[in-house]
Amino acid sequence: MTDYAKLVDTQLLKAFKRLNSLLVTAVFHLKSNETFNFVTGKKEADSKDKTVRVFVINTSQKKDHAIKTILMERIEELDLYDSVTVGESDWRLGAVTQDNAHTQIIEVISGKV
Confidence label for 34 from pLDDT (cuts 50, 70 and 90): low
**pTM of the model as a whole:** 0.74
- The pLDDT value recorded for residue 97 is 94
Domains of the chain, each with CATH number or no CATH: 4-111 (2.40.10)
pLDDT of 33 > 60? The answer is no
Beta-carbon count within 10 A of 113 CB: 10
Q: Which pLDDT belongs to residue 69? A: 96
Beta bridge partners of residue 64, listed in sequence order: none
**pLDDT tens across 47-105, in order?**
688 999 999 999 999 889 999 999 998 998 898 889 999 988 999 999 999 998 788 99
- The continuous run of DSSP H or E covering 9 comes out as helix 4-18
| CB distance 30 to 49 below 8 Å | yes
